[in-house]
């Protein structure tokens, strides 16, 4: 009986995942996606609907409710503390015209919490809630260089799976990358996540030098790499603005 709650919640999470990936489904469809008996799917769906985490329309289609939007906003606010500073990010986006990402360090990844799209292209690889492994992308590799995680353990697990032929996967490559990032104060991601796309990222550090978040600017490779110095300058301005803002208490 002790594991009953665990089992049900795991299943509830699988159910939420299926609904978030496939959109509205009927209970029988849900049952087949989850590989569980129909009565269990009906019960699970009705528990989610009853608690307000899902809605069911007249045709019996079950979908995630907008309550998740509220929970998501609150999750962002409490995870990011004072970091969610849209003014600084907006200014960075307007100054560069490129897509801006803000990501938080987590166990073995950088989790994106904010995306502001650029003028010309929407870089869709990273959305709020999405994550990049520490060997991928500007924010992933900024976290690798500055983050609180066990870097040695991560490097030992190399080679890591590549996203493109340009991804850094081997231990030596990643070690060199960490040194380069720390030396330069910024990290360049050149087609290592998406072909044709480059990004530059910098760390946002608190007064003690601990990593609060990583901020990056991404766009068409030519647009980013030809303006490297200017973009790095704008990134540092943004990072300083965010770091200076005191974290709001209890949030």
Residue 52 makes CB contacts below 8 A (sequence gap 6+) with 65, 67
Which of 47, 225 has the CB closer to other proteins?
A: 47
Binding letters toward other proteins, positions 229-248, x by CB under 8 A:
--------------------
Q: SS3 helix, strand, coil % of the chain, rounded to 5?
A: 50, 20, 30
| Comparison of 2 and 165: residue with beta carbon closer to other proteins | 2
Cα angle vertex 104, ends 100, 109, to 5°?
Answer: 105
The answer to whether the CB of 211 falls within 8 A of the CB of 205 is yes
Site string for other proteins, 57-96 (x = CB under 8 A): ------xxxxxxxxxxxxxxxxx-x---------------
Binding residue count for other proteins, defined by CB under 8 A: 54
Which position among 43, 171, 180, 241 is part of the footprint of other proteins (CB under 8 A)?
43
Choosing from 47, 95, 169, 225, the residue that interacts with other proteins (CB under 8 A) is 47
Q: How far is the CB of 19 from other proteins (least distance, A)?
A: 8
**Min CB(69)–other proteins separation in Å:** 4
Residue 166 CB, nearest approach to other proteins (Å): 26
Query: Whose Cβ is closer to other proteins: residue 49's or residue 225's?
Result: 49
Quickly tell me which residue has 């849900």 as its tokens.
30
Q: What is the CA radius of gyration of the chain?
A: 21
**Is the Cβ–Cβ distance between 198 and 218 less than 8 Å?**
yes
Phi, then psi, of 42 in degrees rounded to 5: -60, -45
In angstroms, what is the minimal distance from the CB of 106 to other proteins?
7
Sign of CA dihedral 148, 149, 155, 161: negative
Pick the binder of other proteins from 97, 129, 159, 196 (CB under 8 A).
Answer: 129
Among 88, 111, 125, 198, binds other proteins (CB under 8 A): 111
Neighbouring-strand partners of residue 62: 25, 56
Close Cβ partners of 225 (under 8 Å, ≥ 6 residues apart): 188, 190, 198
Is residue 205 within the footprint of other proteins (CB under 8 A)?
no
In the complex, the smallest distance separating the C-beta of residue 68 from other proteins, rounded to whole angstroms, is 5
Q: Which is nearer to other proteins, 188 or 212 (CB)?
A: 212
Please give the structure tokens belonging to residue 88.
Answer: 């600084």
Cα torsion at 179, 181, 185, 189 (round to 10°)? 170
Distance CA 196, CA 164 (A): 11
Binding site for other proteins (CB under 8 A): 1-2, 4-10, 12-13, 16, 20-21, 23, 39-40, 43-44, 46-48, 50-53, 63-79, 81, 104, 106, 111, 113, 127-130, 250-251
């Amino acid at each position: 009986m002790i594991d009953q709650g665990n089992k049900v919640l795991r299943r509830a999470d699988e159910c939420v995942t299926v609904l978030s990936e496939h959109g509205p489904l009927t209970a029988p469809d849900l049952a087949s996606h989850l590989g569980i008996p129909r009565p269990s799917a009906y019960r699970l769906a009705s528990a989610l609907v009853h608690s307000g985490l899902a809605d069911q329309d007249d045709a019996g289609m079950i979908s995630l409710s907008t309550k998740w939007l509220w929970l998501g906003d609150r999750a962002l606010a409490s995870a990011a503390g004072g970091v969610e500073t849209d003014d600084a990010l907006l200014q960075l986006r307007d100054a560069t015209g490129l897509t801006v990402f803000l990501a938080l360090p987590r166990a073995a990844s950088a989790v994106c919490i904010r995306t502001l799209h650029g003028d010309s292209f929407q870089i869709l690889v990273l959305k709020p809630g999405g994550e990049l492994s520490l060997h991928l992308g500007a924010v992933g590799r900024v976290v690798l260089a500055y983050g609180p995680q066990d870097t040695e353990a991560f490097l030992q697990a190399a080679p890591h799976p590549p996203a493109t032929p340009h991804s850094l996967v081997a231990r030596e490559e990643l070690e060199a990358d960490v040194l380069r990032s720390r030396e330069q104060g910024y990290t360049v991601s050149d087609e290592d996540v998406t072909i044709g796309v480059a990004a530059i990222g910098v760390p946002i550090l608190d007064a003690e030098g601990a990593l609060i978040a990583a901020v990056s600017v991404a766009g068409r490779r030519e647009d980013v790499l030809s303006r490297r110095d200017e973009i790095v300058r704008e990134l540092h301005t943004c990072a300083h603005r965010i770091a200076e803002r005191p974290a709001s208490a209890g949030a």
